[in-house]
Every structure is written in C-alpha cells, then in structure tokens.
Structure 1
Amino acid sequence: MAGNPRNGRPYRRLCAWLRAQRLPCWWCGHNIGYELDARHPLSFTLDHEHPLSKGGDLLDPANARAAHRRCNSSRGNRTTRPKAALQRASRRW
C-alpha cells in the first residue's frame, strides 16, 4: 500500500460513520464539538481503543472511538484510563 492509509477512502468512510453518530468523547465523557475546526482541542478525532502501536486495527469499526483532539493526544498509546476520568461525574453538582 502506497502513501498514508489515513488518507484513503476506507479510513475517511470510517471517520464519517463515527462522526455521524455524534457520540461524546469515550475518554472523558464530555460532548464533542463536531462543528469545530479540526485544529481545535475540543474537536472530533477518531481514536483507537486498542492503539495501533500495540496491534490495533486501523479500519476496524469495533476499535474506533470518538474523542476530543486533546484527549486523543494526551492519551498517547495508553490502554487504561486515569482514575480521575473514571470517577468524573456526568454533571456538575
């Protein structure tokens, strides 16, 4: 395969499918700004639950998750969530 597989039609189709679902960020649980510019920290990115560097499949829909750009970048290739993210309430009280 020549070139970057993330520029290919199957990857763009997977991104469009995930974007259409308008899910919250799987990492932090907050809403994603789907209308924001792609460079914005709270914009949508496709994240892989099982990191590609650890054998995850690039085009597997079961491995694809909606995430904020900031959450995706800060997560790196970790597979476990920090305790603060697990204990976060769904609403501010």
Structure 2
Amino acid sequence: MAGNPRNGRPYRRLVAAQKALGLPCWLCGHQIGYQLDARHPLSFTLDHLVPLSRGGSLLDPANARSAHRRCNSARGNRTERTAPSKTSWKW
C-alpha cells in the first residue's frame, strides 16, 4: 500500500529545491516570506503551473512554481494565471 506521494522523498526534494531558489510569488510578483510558519498566508507553497487535478505532474520541476499560500489557494485549480486583487490585500 503506497502512502501519500506528497510525503515522499522526491516531493520533499522538489519543495526544497524550489524554496532554495528564493523566487517571488509567480502569481502576484511579491516576495515570499520563506521564514514564515507554513500556515501563514504569505508563506511559501509549491504551486503547479498545470494543476494536479487537471493532469499536471506532481514531481516535474518544470511544473513547479513558488507561490504565497493565499495566492495559491485563491487560484484554486484554474489554469489561467490569475493575479489576486492587490487592493484587497495589505502587503
């Protein structure tokens, strides 16, 4: 019985490699708080250019993007790159 692939070593390596790049959020362009607690809205999450629910690859580095937790959540599984409204969020 296989476990959750997001708990596996290959996924953790991909997350670590993406974090090490120190890139800004690909959705809004603002810097990510890489040192923040993972539950913080401005913390890093690994987003997928092609959402997993739409056939995107979990482990393909070409499908990996750095995003804020709230930007990633706001985008959901849409395929378009939708920047959040900057007027409604306090940066």
2:9 paired residue number:
9
Identity of aligned residues (%): 78
> Are 2:53 and 1:61 aligned?
no
- CA-atom RMSD in angstroms: 1.5
Alignment of 1:10-89 (within 5 A): 10-82=10-82, 85=83
The secondary structure found in structure 2 opposite 1:67 is strand
Deviations 1:34-72 (A, max 9, x none): 000000000000000000011100000000000000011
d(CA) in 1 for partners of 2:70, 2:77? 14
CA distance in 2, matches of 1:81, 1:10: 26
Paired residues in the alignment total 85
Gaps of 5+ in 1: 89-93
TM-score, structure 2 normalization: 0.88
Gaps of 5+ in 2: 87-91
